[in-house]
Amino acid sequence: MEPTVISQNLEDFINDLDKSLAWLKSLGMQNTRFNRYRKALETVLEHRIAGTLEKLTRIVPPEQYREAFIESTHLVAIQKSLQRFKGPRFIQKLRVAVSGPVSPADEKSAGANARDFLFELSTGALFRRRGIPVLIWADKDAVIRLSGCTLLVECKRPRSENKVKHSIKDATHQLIKHFGRYHRDMMPRGLIALDISLITNPTRYVLTSDSIEAIRMELDAALERFIKNFGSALAYRRDKRILGVLVFLKVLGYHSLQSRHLNCEKLGLYVHAEPGSYEGILADGLYRVLLPFK
């Protein structure tokens, strides 16, 4: 699928973030890590306008700016696509997603954490943005409807290369467990959503170029490398009702000629289903709905 590269004017983006923070406040969520991200982004903007960038790195380190920018793009997308959701399960998940430490380095290695829930909600926002009906449930990461079929979505965000296969296996077993709760006549299908951003960019470098096309090519190459290196993990299949693995890649880019940061995203679908089967037709339909990825 064609990578999405969105040029972001920082002042306009802060305005979008303010709307998202106002939404959180209306739901009783204040003093989240995103409020601190907002302060960091505003500081960056002030120094850009003042022309004092040499002082900026001592106040807002580059890695802090990268995290503030990228994570805030998730929140803005969630607010724009899911703000009409009012159910207690959605609110509960959102409350966890916006909590947690400012730095990913302070995440706990085990158990649910804020960024896992943020990815689940961001995945739901993607489906909603593409016109796919979506539900956000507490015991399931997301439930969508596609071509009259219910799809259960399990989201995973592996932190290291040796966790990729484990994440896919875990999601597979969770989906099989969920299938067991449905009557045969109403049997859903499953989908695994995998965020590979940390795997492909562990140092969180900024993808810099003087050409958006070059950045798109690098995103394509990054996904191709991942599929080549983790092909056996992606091929793990224990139930024909699981369509495959939907892979997400998100990095911060920078257009050197325009002096603009870029919200860079790449989406790929690794299909398990047999061509021509019911699951294969569903997977093809999902691909067509998600293309182009915007």
Q: Which DSSP string do the residues of 231-275 spell out, in sequence order?
A: HHHHT--S-TTEEEEEEEEEEEEEETTTTEEEEEEEEEEEE-SPT
Q: What is the pLDDT of residue 200?
A: 93
Rounded-to-integer distance, Cα 181 and Cα 179, Å: 5
In a domain, 104, yes or no: yes
Residues 6+ apart with CB under 8 A from 58: none
Task: Give pLDDT tens digits for 87-137.
Answer: 888 999 999 999 989 988 887 754 458 999 999 999 999 999 999 999 887
d(CA 232, CA 260): 38
Mean pLDDT across 211-218: 92
Is residue 294 over pLDDT 70? no
CA 111 to chain CA centroid, Å, is 19
Q: In 3D, which of 176, 185, 199, 190 has the Cα closest to residue 249?
A: 199
Is 18 part of a structural domain of the chain?
A: no
> Domain range holding 135?
91-290
pLDDT at 111: 47
**197 vs 292, residue with greater confidence:** 197
Residue 70 resides in a domain: no
- Residue 266 · residue 223 · CB < 8 Å: yes
Residue 246 located in a structural domain: yes
| Percent of the chain surpassing pLDDT 70 | 97
Q: Is residue 2 part of a domain?
A: no
Count of structural domains, the chain:
1
35 lies in a domain? no
Distance of CA 99 to the CA centre of its chain: 17
Contacts for 4 with CB less than 8 Å, ≥ 6 apart? 263, 264, 265, 266, 267, 292, 293, 294
Closest alpha carbon to 219 in 258, 192, 193, 252: 252
Opening angle at CA 66, ends 287 and 14, nearest 5: 85
155's tokens: 């989201």
Q: Which amino acid is at 279?
A: E
Q: How confident is the model at residue 139 (pLDDT cuts 50, 70, 90)?
A: confident
Residue 140 has pLDDT above 90, yes or no: no
CA dist 256 → 25, 112, 288 (Å): 36, 38, 33
Tell me, yes or no, whether 31 lies in a domain: no
- Whole-number average pLDDT of the chain: 91
Determine the pLDDT at residue 279: 95
Average pLDDT for 146-164:
95
The reply to whether 79 falls in a domain is no
Tell me the pTM.
0.93
Per-residue pLDDT, 179 = 94
3-class secondary structure, 219: helix
